[in-house]
Amino acid sequence: MLLAIDVGNTRIKAAVFEVDTLFEVLLFTKEELASKVDFILQLHPKIKTIVVASVGNLDKKSFLAFENRVQIQFLSHESKFPFQNLYATPTTLGIDRMVLAAGAVIRFPNQNRLVIDAGTCITYDFIDADNTYWGGAISPGLRLRYESLHQFTAKLPLLTKSYPEKTIGNSTQESIHSGVVNGVIHEIDGFIEEYKAQYAKFIIILTGETQNFWLND
C-alpha cells in the first residue's frame, strides 16, 4: 500500500492507495501532520511507502519521524513524469501542476486534456494527446479574491465564500459575492472557450479543494 501526501498552500491532502484502488482520503492542517500520518500508518499497517508532493512551506524534516517505519519519496523536478515538458521555465513549474498533468495522462490516455485545479490558486494546465505538456495559467482562487478585496480597500468587509443568489447584488456583501464567484465562473468559461478555438476536442478535468463548492451549488 502507498500513502500519497499533497502539501498545498492551505491544507494537506492525503490518500491511501493499493495499486489503483483508493481506500481513504483525509484533509488536515500542517500542524496536524505528525498525528494524522501516525494515525494513517496505524490504521493501514500495510503501507510501505509515503510519496510527498509539496508546494507548501513545509520542511522535509517534518517526515523524518516516519523514516524508520516506511520509505519516503519526495517528488521533484528530477522525478520521472509521463509527459514531455515544454514549459519555458521547467524548474519553476509547481510540483502540484506536474502531478495533475501526470494523473491526466495516465487516467485519460490519447486525449487532449485541460486540467483545472480550483484551490488557493486556480491553475490551468494543458497536455495534448501526444503527452506534451504546454503550460497554462495561474490566477487567484476564491479565498484570495475575497481577502484581497478586504486587505486592499478601506471599507470592504472580509466575507467567506457563498454562492450568489443573483448576478446583480443589491448590497455590498451580495455585490462582493457576485463579483468574486461570477468572476471565477466567467474566467473558467473564458479559458475553456479559448481552448475550444485552438483544439477541436479535449477533455476537461476539474479538481481541487473548492470543486464541491461549484458542483453542489
What DSSP assignment string belongs to 5-36? Answer: EEE-SS-EEEEEEETTEEEEEEEE-GGGHHHH
Q: Which of 31, 211, 12, 20 is nearest to 116 (CA)?
A: 211
Residue 148 lies in a domain: no
The 3 state secondary structure assigned to 59-75 is CHHHHHHHCCCCEEEEC
Residue 106 lies in a domain: yes
| Side chain identity, residue 137 | A
Its domain, for residue 26, covers: 2-74
96 is annotated as an active-site residue: yes
Please tell me whether residues 115 and 198 are part of one structural domain.
yes
Last residue of a domain, one of 23, 46, 74: 74
Write down how long the chain is. 217
Show Cβ contacts of residue 215 under 8 Å, excluding neighbours closer than 6 positions.
none
Residue 23 lies in a domain: yes
Residue 147 lies in a domain: no
Q: Which candidate in 20, 38, 59, 96 is catalytic?
A: 96
Residue 182 lies in a domain: yes
Q: Looking at the 3D structure of the chain, how many domains does it have?
A: 2
pTM for the whole thing?
Answer: 0.88
Written as nine digits, the cell of 61 is 524534516
CATH code of the domain in which 13 resides: 3.30.420.40
Residue 79 lies in a domain: no
Please tell me whether residues 60 and 103 are part of one structural domain.
no
Tens digits of pLDDT across the chain (217 residues) = 999 999 988 889 999 999 889 999 999 998 999 999 999 999 999 999 999 998 877 778 888 889 999 999 999 999 999 999 999 999 999 999 999 999 999 999 999 999 999 988 999 999 999 999 999 999 999 999 999 999 999 999 999 999 998 999 999 999 999 999 999 999 999 999 999 999 999 999 999 865 555 544 4
Please tell me whether residues 137 and 198 are part of one structural domain.
yes
